Amino acid sequence: MNQSIPKRTLGQSGDDGNPFLRTKRIYIQLSPEEKQAIALTAKIEGFNSMAQYVRQMALSMGAVDNPVTLKRHYLECEFQLTKLGNNLNQIARRANSKSELDQEILSQLIAIEQDATLLLVEALKKVDTKQ
């Protein structure tokens, strides 16, 4: 059986974005010290399990890309973007109630643009370090 089987519920094999059950195994033998070192490294890197860490290392040719940390980063970006969106909505309501934009609205729009640019730069740095 070489076809992937979708998970019935998310998180069956960990919350790493994989939608399929893992049905294949690879066996390796380690000394107790090696296993302890790998487990410690996985924990330090923030992985939920040693299997998740070893799988990520093997699939990404050694580049550690912790899905839990990435998910937190995406949620933080989403939170920041939501705040910017709320600010824009408030400004739009205020601008629609006036016939022209005053200096305060323009300065708020410039501040939002700067915040959005900083958020984008920070997100691009995170993406670049993962490649």
Average pLDDT for 5-12: 62
CA dist., res. 57 & res. 63, Å (int):
6
What confidence category does residue 29 fall into, taking pLDDT thresholds of 50, 70 and 90? very high
Read out DSSP for 14-81? BSSS--B-----------HHHHHHHHHHHHHTT-S-HHHHHHHHHHTTT----HHHHHHHHHHHHHHH
Q: State the pLDDT at residue 62.
A: 59
Instruction: Give percent above pLDDT 70 in the chain.
Output: 72
What is the model's pLDDT at position 131? 46
Residue 13: helix, strand or coil by DSSP?
coil
**Residue 128 pLDDT > 90, yes or no?**
no
Per-residue confidence band for 17, with pLDDT thresholds at 50, 70 and 90: low
| Summary mean pLDDT of the chain | 77
Query: 32 versus 115: which is more confidently predicted?
Result: 32
Mean pLDDT over 18-44 rounds to 87
- Between 123 and 49, where is the model more confident? 49
| Single-letter amino acid, residue 7 | K
Residue 24, token pair as written in the block: 């294949």
What distance in Å separates the CA atoms of residue 64 and residue 131, rounded to the nearest whole number?
10
pLDDT in tens, 60-89: 765 666 666 667 777 888 888 888 888 888
Instruction: Retrieve residue 8's tokens.
Output: 């019935």
More confident residue, 31 or 63: 31
